[in-house]
Amino acid sequence: MTRTSPRLRTLVWGAVPVLALSALATMDHIPGTDISLTVPYAAEGPGPMFNTLGEQDNVPVVEISGEPVDETAGALEMTTVSVRTNMTLAQAMGRWLTTGDTLVPIEQVFPPDMSEKEIEQSNQQAFTSSEAAATVAAMNHLGRPVQIVVADTIEDSAAVDHIEAEDVIIAVDGQPVDQPGQVQEQVRAKSPGEEITLTVRRGGDEVEETIPLGENPQDPGAPMLGILMTSEPTDGIDVEYNLQDVGGPSAGMIFSLAVIDKLSPGELNGGRHVAGTGTISEDGTVGPIGGIVHKVRAAEEKGTELFLAPADNCTEAISRDHGDMVIAKVTTLDDAITAMADFDAGRDVEECS
């Protein structure tokens, strides 16, 4: 019979609590129960970047048909934030201590009064609206006319059975419209239960649809029509944005710049490696976004030369080390274009300070 020395026995048995604790730290619930061990926080960190002048899964990220596109070079990178949830305390602390991720209350990511389906739907609506605004802003810059096209209707909304995908909205309550924002303004001016009349072009015919407005479940008392709108140029050009599993409005400015670059002579970025973020309005105004410190970090690590940051995010954008990367202060689409031209020519760029 082999005897175990007192020291060895201490090591063997002493390892049991450590192993048990390690296993417990990675469990998301107590075994055999529904009791959760996860913390009510999400970890935000740098997400993947997408070159809007390039391809994703062998498809152009920004695809333009109906007209030859100009040659592009370098990169116009769209930046994202990764979000991790369902973490144990040990996992959350580990990310905070070792990766530079930030911890935010889970309700900032998943509002408690919204279901997972509603959150997904809201993110998709924001992304579709961002795409539409990006197209309008780009076409306005290029001096090209646009029209409003219905991308889809929201399940169980007022528009179902009245409006169809591919309908072209040409008037609201008799007032001509050509930008999604104009439709949204007309809807917001009403109350749930009030009627709104949309004139649409459907299959070559002009159709009028009078619709009693519903109520927005995410904003009680606010009216809701329930359509996802996009914009298309009326001169035969078609713009498609081909990114899957990306939500929210923060890609708007970069999308718009990519469209302009592909439809105008020369290289908008001077062939350099440019990244950025920011919402875009139809009039070209660039708005603030969340998680910019992580987007700046991802861009700097990828060797980006110039980062385009919304003016309202400037203080946060430069709050951490960003190496030699220049961070430009941007308020409008024209500011972004000017910053790229100045940077390429070696002129002073209006930087975040």
Enter the DSSP assignment of 101. -
Mark whether 173 and 254 lie in a shared domain.
no
Q: What is the CA radius of gyration of the chain?
A: 25
Question: Which of 233, 260, 278 is the last residue before a domain boundary?
Answer: 233
From residue 205, how far is each of 168, 180, 208 by CA, in Å?
A: 10, 21, 10
CA 212 to chain centre: 31
Residue at 129 is within a domain:
no
Residue at 11 is within a domain:
no
Mark whether 242 and 341 lie in a shared domain.
yes
Tell me the three state secondary structure of residue 32.
coil
Tens-place pLDDT, residues 264-302: 999 999 999 999 999 999 899 999 998 999 999 999 999
Please report which helix (H) or strand (E) contains residue 31, including its range.
Answer: none
104: left (phi over 0), alpha (psi -120 to 50) or beta: beta
Nearest Cα to 45, choosing from 120, 93, 95?
95
Handedness of CA 69, 71, 75, 76 (dihedral sign): negative
Task: Name residue, tokens 């996860």.
Answer: 38
* C-beta of residue 259 within 8 angstroms of C-beta of residue 241: no
Residue at 252 is within a domain:
yes
Report the distance separating Cα 309 and Cα 305, nearest Å.
13
Strand 75-78 relative to strand 273-276: parallel, antiparallel, unpaired? parallel
Mark whether 263 and 308 lie in a shared domain.
yes
Question: Which of 233, 249, 267 is the last residue before a domain boundary?
Answer: 233
Full domain range(s) for residue 161:
145-233
Residue at 192 is within a domain:
yes
CATH number of the domain enclosing 164: 2.30.42.10
Strand 273-276 relative to strand 306-310: parallel, antiparallel, unpaired? parallel
Question: Which of 205, 233, 261 is the last residue before a domain boundary?
Answer: 233
pTM of the model: 0.76
Mark whether 157 and 208 lie in a shared domain.
yes
Mark whether 215 and 253 lie in a shared domain.
no
Residue at 97 is within a domain:
yes
Q: Which residues pair with 90 in a beta bridge?
A: none
Enter the DSSP assignment of 349. -
Mark whether 220 and 264 lie in a shared domain.
no
Phi, psi for residue 176 in degrees, rounded to 5:
-60, 140
Residue at 139 is within a domain:
no
Looking at residue 56, its amino acid is Q
Give the side-chain half-sphere CA count within 13 A for 5: 3
Mark whether 183 and 212 lie in a shared domain.
yes
CATH number of the domain enclosing 287: 3.30.230
Mark whether 224 and 258 lie in a shared domain.
no
**Domain tally for the chain?**
2
Handedness of CA 119, 222, 312, 130 (dihedral sign): positive
Residue at 47 is within a domain:
yes
What length is written for the chain?
Answer: 353
Mark whether 288 and 224 lie in a shared domain.
no
Tell me the three state secondary structure of residue 279.
strand
Mark whether 224 and 253 lie in a shared domain.
no
Report the distance separating Cα 80 and Cα 47, nearest Å.
5
Mark whether 264 and 325 lie in a shared domain.
yes
Mark whether 96 and 52 lie in a shared domain.
yes
Tell me the three state secondary structure of residue 9.
helix
Residue-by-residue DSSP string for 139-203: HHHHT--EEEEEEEE-TTSTTTTT--TT-EEEEETTEE--SHHHHHHHHHTS-TT-EEEEEEEET
Report the distance separating Cα 344 and Cα 267, nearest Å.
10
Looking at residue 319, its amino acid is S
* C-beta of residue 215 within 8 angstroms of C-beta of residue 225: no
Tens of each residue's pLDDT in the chain, 353 residues: 333 333 333 233 333 334 333 343 445 555 555 555 688 888 888 999 999 999 998 999 999 999 999 999 999 999 999 888 888 888 888 888 888 888 888 888 777 777 777 777 777 777 777 888 899 899 999 999 989 999 899 989 999 999 999 999 999 999 999 988 899 999 999 999 999 999 999 988 999 999 999 999 888 899 999 999 888 888 888 899 998 767 667 889 999 999 999 999 999 999 999 999 999 998 999 999 989 999 999 999 999 999 999 999 999 999 999 999 999 999 999 999 999 999 999 999 999 98
Tens-place pLDDT, residues 9-68: 323 333 333 433 334 344 555 555 555 568 888 888 899 999 999 999 899 999 999 999
Q: Interior CA angle at 82 toward 80 and 87, to 5°? A: 170
Residue at 2 is within a domain:
no
